Structure 1
Amino acid sequence: MDAAPPLDQAAPAAKLRLYEAILQATPDLTYVFDRQHRFIYANHALLSMWGMTWEQAANKTCLEIGYEPWHAAMHDEEIDRVIATRQPVRGEVPFPHVTEGVRIYDYIFSPVFGPGGEVEAIAGSTRDITLRKQHEQHMQLLINELNHRVKNTLATVQSMALQTLRGSTGMADAQDKMESRLVALSDAHDILTRESWQGAELGDVARAAAAPHQGSEGERFDIHGPAFLLDPRRAVALSMALHELCTNAVKYGALSVPEGRVGIHWAWSGEAPDEVLELTWREHGGPAVSEPTRRGFGSRLIERGLKYDLGGDSVLAFEPAGVTCRVSMPAHRAARAAA
């Protein structure tokens, strides 16, 4: 079987068929204007976007095709500019698609030179960049959100460092406290990262805080409650508060003796629209508790910071039978997790 001749040796009709096949196969929109701004060629992709046949579209201007007046006027000016400058023009524009709504297109108009060097037509190629634009917008949102989270995290660490140094007896004590608090903050971020920072399930937050202090059989904590999804800010705040409660329980409370236990329970209370989420930390089986002579970082974080971050209330009580902490927040501050 004889091989096909090279393209530069092919007959004009064969070349035309080849070019036509390429232009019709491409998903890009390809077209040609004459010097009077009329379409003298449009490929299938463009005709499909218009919802027209070539017989309906041939020799019409953008305005006659149905482009918005501002859109048609913009292309008229660009076509004249290509003719005058003999240089390509590029731009981006939204366009209402018949079946897919408004799409964003990147286009280029290029001069087609005649035998005498004059611009005899204007060739155009347009590409749908809607998905790329949406991806760029999404990436910008992610960058903005990341910047926001980094600033918040740095502010939290700064406050934590200042309060830790202020309430520590020496550098060794400050180092130990700071390290444990940073680990607690990291654990909260790990939970949120697993959920793409959409929120954290309250049970996961409670179990992560308790995990370092559980016994070999996990008998030190009784953790239960229905599924709740906390937004990132409240998940971090509650995680840090539970860490401080655990630390205090290990040093002075129920977790300082083998028989001590801690209950972490939560539930909805009240009726909409006044429904609230109530969480209770209760220690028992530990040494007798007395009111501290001064409030440390943990107490201030629970009584002031947690109340602010949750948009609710927080009460820390040093009862003789064991420390109790009651936390509540309005229902709109937390979301019921899907069953």
Structure 2
Amino acid sequence: MKLHRLAWHNRDRNEGELHDSLVLALLDSDETVMLQDRDRDYIFIANLPDVWNLPNENDEGPTDSNIFGKELAQRLSELKKDLNAAGTRGTLEVIAGKDRIFQFHVYSTVNMAGQRVLKTTIREVTVERRREQLLRSLLREVSHRSKNLLAIIQSLSAQTARFSFTKEDFLRKFRGRLHALAQSQDLITDSDWRGAEIFDLLKQQSDLYLPEYPHLVQIKGENLLLNPNGALYVGLAFHELVVNTVSHSPNLALHLPITLECRRDDDVFEVRWNEPLTRTDIPVSEEADRRSNFGSVVLEKVVPAALAGEAHYNVSADEVGYLLRFPAPAAS
């Protein structure tokens, strides 16, 4: 028995038996192996991928040209011409069939008889390359959306500061808006970046600010699926509406039910908020600045502009009404 550096075999066993066993094991492994002598004549081929075919037995022996075609044969020839010394190797990646991707690994080695042999293995890497491509696309999408989110946060911080009278006032309002964005972003991420359903966006804000009154806001209509950008801004609009309700209703137990109605009108999404006011609510006359604060700017300008839509925000002694209309996102 003789031990080799990379492999061993029993010298007392018949070499034909060893050869047959190795060939059977190789065929069962599905590993593509092609061996050529120093003149590049093929001496062995196993498990050729089904995008290529071996020549018929009556034809001339296999060559790179009649197996792979002229163009790929030329590329392989260029690769192999520099692999003269034992231990040298080269790699080539090609597209074949219906967008399938294969890697050719060519090694120059010496067999047990001391003869130089060129060994080529072929491995399909289609799945790996598609996974890499998807990952790169996702990373680009994450980068794009991160920049978009940072731009929104920057705008929110600047405008909140503009409409705040004290540092504490700014921090309270900004933290609330930032939290609203974070919650909407969680829904977007959970959906694999498809977006978020509009009822879930409202439920986030209701659960946070109206936990003891889960039925105060009554939802009607269609649970619209918003794209990521729409989800961020509509979530922000809901935040402003719910916070206004809490801020201007000292006794929520006496507050009349609020209605949120959502529907799709052809290629337009329509969101309608109707909030009846009671005598216990702070009268509009006692909150003269209500229409001039940043909350109303968000509802009337920021959100509809970001969605390429339109909005109508109306505050009277009897009700708070908000109507948002914007183009429905294209189906993916």
The answer (yes or no) to whether the contact 1:164–1:297 under 8 Å persists in 2 is yes
Shift of 1:141: 1.2
Aligned match of 2:284: 289
Once the two structures are superposed, residues 220-279 of structure 1 have per-residue CA deviations (whole angstroms, 9 ceiling, x without a partner) of: 21112213211010011000011011112222259767324321111123xx4xx42211
1:88 Cα offset (Å): 1.3
Q: Does 1:320 align with 2:317?
A: yes
CA shift in 2, pair 1:36/1:165, >3 Å: same
Find out whether 1:29 has 2:8 as its counterpart: no
Task: Give the alignment of 1:198-213 within 5 angstroms.
Answer: 198-213=194-209
SS of the equivalent of 1:81 reads coil
Q: Which residue of 2 aligns with 1:3?
A: none
Aligned AA (2:321): T
State the distance in 2 between where 1:103 and 1:11 align.
41
Cα pair distance change 1:47/1:214, threshold 3 Å = closer
Q: Does 1:144 align with 2:144?
A: no
What is residue 268 of structure 2 aligned with on the other side? 276
- In structure 1, C-alpha distance between the alignment counterparts of 2:115 and 2:331, rounded to whole Å: 68
Residue type at the aligned position of 2:35: V
Contact 1:253/1:322 (<8 A) preserved:
no
Residues 265 and 128 from structure 1, CA distance in 2 versus in 1: closer, same or farther, beyond 3 angstroms? same
- What TM-score does the superposition give when structure 1 sets the normalisation length? 0.84
SS of equivalent residue, structure 2 residue 88? coil
- Alignment deviations for residues 20-59 of structure 1 (CA, whole Å, 9 cap, x no partner): 123212222111123444432111x216443447737872
Give the alignment partner of residue 309 of structure 1, picking from 306, 321, 332.
306
Q: 1:51/1:107 Cα in 2 relative to 1: closer, same or farther (>3 Å)?
A: closer
Residue 222 of structure 2 corresponds to 226
CA contact (8 A) 1:83 1:111 kept: yes
Shift, 1:79, TM fit: 2.1
Deviation at 1:193, TM superposition (A): 2.1
CA RMSD of aligned residues (A): 2.8
Aligned length in residues:
319
Kindly provide the amino acid, as one letter, of the partner of residue 33 in structure 1: Q
Shift of 1:86: 6.4
- Match in the other structure for 1:330: 327
TM-score (norm 2): 0.86
Deviations 1:104-131 (CA, angstroms, capped at 9, x unpaired): 1122111233689663x31111111111
Query: Quick one: percent identity of the two aligned structures?
Result: 25
Q: Which runs of 5+ in 2 are unaligned?
A: 1-7
Q: Secondary structure at the match of 1:277?
A: strand
Task: Provide the C-alpha distance between the structure 2 equivalents of 1:215 and 1:79, rounded to a whole number of angstroms.
Answer: 72
Equivalent pair of 1:200/1:232 in contact (CA under 8 Å): yes
Per the alignment, residue 297 of structure 2 pairs with 300
Shift of the 168–256 alpha-carbon distance from structure 1 to 2, 3 Å rule, reads: farther
Structure 2 distance, partners of 1:193, 1:48, is 40
Separation of aligned partners in 1, 2:193 and 2:254: 37
Code of the residue aligned with 2:20 in structure 1: it is: R
Corresponding residue number in structure 1 for 2:52: 50
Distance change (3 Å), C-alpha of 1:14 and 1:155 = same
CA pair 209-18 structure 1, distance change in 2 beyond 3 A: same
- Does residue 40 in structure 1 map to residue 51 in structure 2? no
User: Which amino acid is the alignment partner of residue 55 of structure 1?
Assistant: E
Aligned equivalent of 2:93: 92
Task: Measure, in 2, the Cα distance between the counterparts of 1:57 and 1:206.
Answer: 73
- One-letter amino acid of the counterpart of residue 110, structure 1: Y
Task: Give the secondary-structure state (helix, strand or coil) at the position aligned to 1:63.
Answer: helix
Instruction: For 1:158-237, list aligned pairs within 5 A.
Output: 158-214=154-210, 216=212, 218-237=214-233
SS state at 1:197 partner? coil
CA distance, structure 2, for counterparts of residue 57 and residue 277 of structure 1: 67
- Residue 181 of structure 1, CA deviation: 1.3
Match of 1:109 in 2: 106
